[in-house]
Amino acid sequence: MMKFSFAATTFLGVVAVIGTVHADEPPACLTSTADLSVDIFTDKVEPLFSQGWNVTYHNTYKIANNLFDNTTYLLYQCGSTPPADVVDNGNFNAVLEIPLSNVGLSQTPHIGFMEQLELVDEIAAFLTDTDFISSPCFLDEIAAGNVLTLVEPSEGVDAPATGNTALSAGTVAFVASFTQVPFDNTVNIQEYSELTNVAVFEWVKFFSVFFNKEHTANQVVEAAESRFDCVAQNAGAVQADNMPVKPVVLWAYYSDFCGGWDVAECPNYYCEFANACGAEIISSTEGNTTVCGAPYMTTEELVELGKDADHWIYPSSNWDTASETFGEQLQNMKAVQDQQVFDYQASGENAWFEQRYAEYYNVLADFCAVVGTTQPLTGRSWFRNVFTEPVGSLPDCSPTQSANILDDVHICFLPTTGGAAAGGGSGSGGSSAKAIAVGTAALAAGLLSLIHVLLF
């Protein structure tokens, strides 16, 4: 049968992660007769990558800590009472009955975490400008009037909409450590202080603790991590096999607010992308513009630093104004001359600050595609060529396709060495990754058949 022979030859080494079963079985609320010495939390999380949080489990309650700002939260299962001595001695920032429901959020990245836990319906209040939201399903919730929002967007975050003091008093809000919201109970989330993609995304586990969604959190973190590793292995093999010199990438954008160019500083999540893609990233801590208290580069400095870069990733949405203002100077840069400048708007202006956190393995595939060490089968969905491609958007909210990455079909080719990989993998090394670069369209068509076979 055609489909199977195709799979058995060209696709040796393919890793197809298809929709996985992911069901949490959270503990029920306790009754007054419950045995408090029984561990009811069968699913647990622990940080394998994050530096900034931990959680301990104590039969019927949990203690979750933000280790970056030393805030601590006691979470007790509904129907139970937390031990008085623990409450008294713990110096907790909040003592909360779980699972939480009807929570408030103040940061768009947290929408993505709630999406992965299938908890978008539990977001009852959104405390920042709704213009920054990307999630199509959450936007539908807002349009339907199901979410408390600020009365006037763009006016700051001083107060939630009027007439809802009862909600703000009873609701727990997840906030960034630097935000103040008028809620009685807040939980500080600090994923932005982590330095690697997997560590940032692993904060989804911290969220899960408040909702008894540990099972799902463990699954999504593991799925994303293995997908990332596969893309990285693949790109590394292509670079090692096919590129005598590493591609050089500039990561920089113009800050209108700070009046200068912000350039990559490693270590950081984007330096991790570059390394994983077998590329060299230009980084610098220098800069003569200090309007914002930190060094930003002048245009002269930027051009000097980045003029020979092969590719330029422009992590902002203001390329048009920057190129209008500085176009003449920027013309001295190789990446501009070669039309190799990419911003992050292939899925719209806001997805970068929301869905990116879970789909960081797809961002990696895009990054590798930009520098030439991978060719994505379905096209880039994060980095957009500012010269040749339009700003994109996410598909509408679908009742059948959730935003959970476990429902996303992910295909990755593991590099296989030796002569086993047929079709295109000729020459030394013979990795099947090469085959991807050779015949993407044909392979994509074949893959769709393969996926079809696997799914149905």
Q: How far apart are the first and last CA of the chain?
A: 16
- Applying CB under 6 A, the site for ligand NAG has a residue count of 10
Q: Quick check: 54 binds ligand NAG (CB under 6 A)?
A: yes
Token pair for 218: 């463990």
- Member of 20, 42, 70, 146 binding ligand NAG (CB under 6 A): 70
CB of 239 to ligand NAG, least distance (A): 33
- Member of 16, 34, 36, 67 binding ligand NAG (CB under 6 A): 67
Residue nearer to ligand NAG on the CB measure, 285 or 426: 285
CB of 78 to ligand NAG, least distance (A): 24
Residue in 360, 364, 359, 421 with CA at minimum distance from that of residue 231 = 364
Candidates 19-27, 267-275, 297-305, 433-441; binding stretch for ligand NAG (CB under 6 A)? 297-305
What are the angstrom distances between the C-alpha of 276 and each of 143, 164, 196, 229, 407? 40, 47, 12, 9, 25
CB of 305 to ligand NAG, least distance (A): 10
Token pair for 144: 């339907």
Candidates 113-121, 224-232, 294-302, 348-356; binding stretch for ligand NAG (CB under 6 A)? 294-302
Rounded to 5, what percent of the chain is helix, strand, coil? Answer: 35, 20, 45
CB of 69 to ligand NAG, least distance (A): 5
Classify each residue of 63-94 as buried b or exposed e, where b means 16 or more C-beta atoms within 10 Å of its C-beta.
bbbbebeebbbbbbbeebebbeeeeeeeebbb
Candidates 3-11, 190-198, 250-258, 296-304; binding stretch for ligand NAG (CB under 6 A)? 296-304
Candidates 30-38, 106-114, 142-150, 295-303; binding stretch for ligand NAG (CB under 6 A)? 295-303
- Member of 65, 164, 317, 402 binding ligand NAG (CB under 6 A): 65
Q: Quick check: 408 binds ligand NAG (CB under 6 A)?
A: no
Residue in 257, 127, 230, 253 with CA at minimum distance from that of residue 180 = 127
CB of 353 to ligand NAG, least distance (A): 24
CA angle 203, 364, 274 (to 5 degrees): 105
269-288: which residues touch ligand NAG (CB under 6 A)?
Answer: 288
Candidates 63-71, 315-323, 368-376, 429-437; binding stretch for ligand NAG (CB under 6 A)? 63-71
- Member of 59, 193, 298, 393 binding ligand NAG (CB under 6 A): 298
Candidates 65-73, 75-83, 391-399, 420-428; binding stretch for ligand NAG (CB under 6 A)? 65-73
Distance between CA 436 and CA 378 in Å, rounded? Answer: 12
Token pair for 286: 């220098």
How far is CA 103 from its chain centroid? 21
CB of 298 to ligand NAG, least distance (A): 5
- Judged by DSSP in three states, 314 sits in strand
Give the x-and-dash track for 334-363 against ligand NAG (CB under 6 A).
Answer: ------------------------------
Distance between CA 105 and CA 128 in Å, rounded? Answer: 8
**Torsion sign (Cα): 52, 216, 344, 239:** positive
CB of 434 to ligand NAG, least distance (A): 43
Helix (H) or strand (E) holding 262: strand 260-263
Q: Quick check: 332 binds ligand NAG (CB under 6 A)?
A: no
CB of 22 to ligand NAG, least distance (A): 26
Residue nearer to ligand NAG on the CB measure, 20 or 56: 56
Q: For the residues of 179-232, what is the DSSP string, one character each? A: ---S-SEEEEE-GGG-SSHHHHHTHHHHHHHTTT-HHHHHHHHHHHHHHHHHHH
Distance between CA 426 and CA 440 in Å, rounded? Answer: 16
Q: Which residues bind ligand NAG (CB under 6 A)?
A: 54, 56, 65, 67, 69-70, 288, 298, 300-301
